Amino acid sequence: MFYLKKGMPEDSEIVLCSVKKVSYHSVFLTLDEYENVEGMMHISEIAPGRIRTIGDYVNVGKKVVCKVLKVRPNTNHVDLSLRRVNKMQRLNKTSEFKQEQKAEKLLELVGKELKVDLAEMYKEAGYELKEKYGTINNAFQNFVLDPEQIKELKIKKKVSEVLLKTVLEKIKPKEVIVLGEFTISSLAENGAELIKKILKDAQKGTIKITYMGAPNYKITVTASDYKTAESLLENAHEEIAKNIKEIKGTCEFKQIKK
């Protein structure tokens, strides 16, 4: 990574580190995302239980995801733990770091088209993107969903044009799909037609409803994240149930977990 954070991490922060040195009872590491910050991990923080040989768990050059236990700003050192990081935290941190590396490569690609190096691209846009969105990758994902957002930033027009063009060419929008099943019936004389109309009206944007054979229907909702997708699914469920009730019908719903 070209960009490194200045200052120190916060207590309990999850950080990516590289093992620098292994001693009999400690491991010394560098924090990959920070400038000139090193950490130390006592043998008791490597794994639960008794550890006979540290080398069975870590070795020089290995990248590990750690939790910050204590920050020592006077020495630019932090106390770290490996055993207090759960699987989900480790996977999320590793994925986040890799995505930011890819985003930085994309920023470098934009710089090549503009005939400037990566350091200059950070001055032109990178620092602004990080300040606004936290990471360059977050910025790019937002531009894919809503390209107009780039106009809100203090970036030169030529730079923003090339940046947006490159992002839209190289990054495919993220898609999350959630599913549900309806069991719907109505005793109304024209119940089948009324149900058909209600379900047709409920199909808005990325909401799709499929007939599975009376009285069963499947609903598929696509969005950029689970929170949005599940919110759309819930809203659609409530709207359909309300309308089916008005025609004196019954509507049972269940979400399908993949």
Calpha distance 40→67 (Å, rounded): 11
- Per-residue pLDDT at 162 exceeds 70: yes
Per residue in 78-90, pLDDT (tens digit) is 999 999 999 999 9
Percent of the chain past pLDDT 90, that is, above it, reads 75
Rounded percentage of the chain residues whose pLDDT exceeds 70: 100
Identify the CA nearest to 176 among candidates 144, 143, 139, 221.
221
The CA distances from residue 99 to 27, 84, 87, 118, 252, in Å, are 27, 24, 18, 17, 41
The pLDDT assigned to 224 comes to 74
Q: Which range has the worst mean pLDDT, 66-70, 88-92, 158-162, 171-175? A: 171-175
Q: How many domains does the chain have?
A: 3
Last-in-domain residue among 170, 201, 219: 170
Question: Do 79 and 113 lie in a common domain?
Answer: no
Tell me the average pLDDT across 34-60: 93
pLDDT of 258 reads 64
Instruction: State yes or no: pLDDT of 13 exceeds 70.
Output: yes
Residue 173 CA, chain-centre distance (Å), reads 12
Query: 187: pLDDT confidence band, cut at 50, 70 and 90?
Result: confident
What pLDDT is stored for residue 2 in this prediction? 82
Per the structure, the complete domain to which residue 113 belongs is given by 88-170
Question: Is residue 1 in some structural domain?
Answer: no
Q: Is residue 8 part of a domain?
A: no
Chosen domain end from 150, 170, 190: 170
One domain for residues 154 and 218:
no
Q: Name the domain boundary from 170, 203, 222.
A: 170
The span from the CA of 175 to the CA of 136, in Å, is 19
The CATH number assigned to the domain holding 155 equals: 1.10.150.190
Same domain, yes or no, for 209 and 238? yes
Element (H, E) at 198: helix 191-202
Note whether 121 and 101 are same-domain residues: yes
Provide the residue type at 146 as one letter.
D
Average predicted confidence (pLDDT) for the chain: 92
pLDDT surpassing 90 at residue 214: no
Mean pLDDT, rounded, for 39-62: 93
pLDDT tens-digit series, residues 109-135: 999 999 999 999 999 999 999 999 999
Q: Is residue 2 part of a domain?
A: no
Task: Please enumerate in sequence order all residues whose Cβ is within 8 A of that of 86, keeping only pairs 6 or more positions apart, or say none.
Answer: none
